[in-house]
Chain A
Amino acid sequence: MSEFTFLFRGRLISGSLEERQKHLEKWKLWMNQLRANGHINEHPGHPLEGSGKVISGKNKLVTDGPYAEAKDIVGGFMLIEAEDLEEAVELAKNCPIAEVDGSVEVRPVQVLRP
């Protein structure tokens, strides 16, 4: 088993309350599946606030941000256990974020020993 992060971009921004509730139900289903198959070992995931601060450079310049386009902002992340990158990608394909034209970035967590 290897560890992966899923970075989520994009979210449902419009839509009726009914549509939002239905969308939520799909996430619940997806999460339950991941959990049932042992892909989530700890915390289910971390939603992120839309904005915060960015500290950058030698001067530790603090700016508001991130100011990217809404669809490019990471809205949350989670840690996933999967056999390999291929399996992780398959898991991400079922994420309901696709319905709202969002994306999942799958990144293997680097391990200490090469």
Chain B
Amino acid sequence: MDLSDHLFRHEYGRMVATMTRLLGVRNLILAEDVVQDAFCRALEVWKFRGVPENPSAWLMATAKNRALDLLRRDRTADRYEPELSRILQSEWTLAPAVDELLIENAVKDDELRMMFSCCHPRLPVQAQIALILSILCGFSVIEIANAFVSSHAAIEKRITRAKKVLAGSKRLFEITDKEVIARISSVHQALYLLFNEGYHGGSPGVAVRSELCHEAMRLAALLLDRPASATPATYALSALMCFGAARLPTRLGGMGELLSMFEQDRSLWDQQLIDEGLKLLEFSATGSELTEFHIEAAIASVHALARRVEETDWRQIVSLYNQLSAMRPTPVIALNRAIAIGQYQGPERGLQEIRAIPGAKRLAKYPFYFAALGEFELRRGMRDVARHHFQAALVLARNEMEQRFLEGRSRVCEVRVACRD
């Protein structure tokens, strides 16, 4: 039997969610220990005996047995989840009751409940994401620290604190319609940021970044799997992720430098993911809800549908940015809108629009503000001015990929022979 990629990590999330349901959320750490135990056992037994026919079931059963031992040993009253105290009364009901919790659908619900629980309102969103990665994606502290380009100690502290908050809640989140509506936007936000961390984030490892994107997509698919959480916004968010993931392999060049939309090899965009995104975008159009994810996904779809950059429908993109600005008036969105205008109305017009951005001061630390100025100056032939802008952007670069990209752009300004318009 072969193991699928990341099987251990993905099973970890399912198992911790279910064991937490079994042992009660206040015993979160114990639930994690039980699951870790199961993996230690799997490693020892499987390396000699081979991987069993159904590794997931083997792991879950091993964790279950360990948890049953714990429950039998300490059955007194309210140490465990209140909803379980009744069925834990007798040995006769214990095992079947536990088996009931392990049927596939119940496990999926547990994963979902855990996802919502991780987005606890008392936690800052960065802590929510770290918690999701730790509990539901089975990432180690080191792996999370790598993903966030943060120190081991800082992440460990963040996770420990977050787990304490989670364990302090009375019970896991309930998936009733009312509860879901109240919290689903925090869940969307966390998954959105998790995806973006992979897409734009500073980790130099391409593998690390695409894993983050895929984890975000896997969790979003869980949301889509349940009627209560398959809202239009969930569809829009999933569509947005599909379009992003389709372009992911082309975002970095051979030297590990960021490639802009203008330079990416569009023939390498994943057509299957684009089609999936278009389908999801269609599903997102039911009901009256129009979220930022809808607009962002629509913008991404316009890019995805243009075979060559020259074929991009910039008017459509500008009009979508207008809508987005109305919902979330931020300088970065205004900048993207200005860039889009410059694409079909010429560099002068683009520069004008950039200078007219309200609150442009807030972009003073944003490398792509200066990069955009540089790009338009370069296009209208002002090479020296352009180079200065790229140099200014370079100082602000947040990671190596950005740095290499901006160095490249700055170098283009020095070359006398124009190699691009």
Contacts and interface: CB of A to CB of B under 8 A. Distances in A.
Interface string A1-33: 000000000011101111011011101100100
B58 interface: no
B140 interface: yes
Nearest to B11: A17
A28 B44 CA distance: 12
Contact of B43 (A16, A23, A31, A78): A23
B165 interface: no
Interface of A is mostly: mixed
A47 B50 contact: no
Nearest to B5: A21
Contacts of A75: 44
A18 B8 CA distance: 7
Contact of A28 (B50, B139, B142, B143): B50
B57 interface: no
Given A28-B50, A28-B51, A16 B45 contact: no
A18 B44 contact: no
Interface in B92-147: 138-140, 142-143
A44 interface: yes
Interface of A: 11-13, 15-18, 20-21, 23-25, 27-28, 31, 44-47, 75-76, 78
B382 interface: no
B360 to A, nearest CB: 43
If over half of B's interface residues share one DSSP class (helix, strand or loop), that class is named, otherwise mixed; here it is helix
B82 to A, nearest CB: 31
Contacts of B40: 13
B3 A17 contact: no
13 contacts: A16-B139, A16-B142, A18-B8, A18-B9, A20-B43, A21-B8, A23-B43, A25-B3, A28-B46, A46-B48, A47-B44, A75-B44, A78-B48
Interface string B51-66: 1000000000000000
B283 interface: no
A45 B49 contact: yes
A49 to B, nearest CB: 9
Interface in B1-29: 3, 6-9, 12
Given A12-B43, A25-B3, A17 B140 contact: yes
B50 A16 contact: no
B47 interface: yes
B52 to A, nearest CB: 12
A17 B44 contact: no
Nearest to B140: A16
| Among A18, A27, A45, residue most surrounded by chain B Cβ atoms (within 10 Å) | A18
Contact of B48 (A15, A16, A44): A44
Contact of B47 (A15, A17, A18, A28): A28
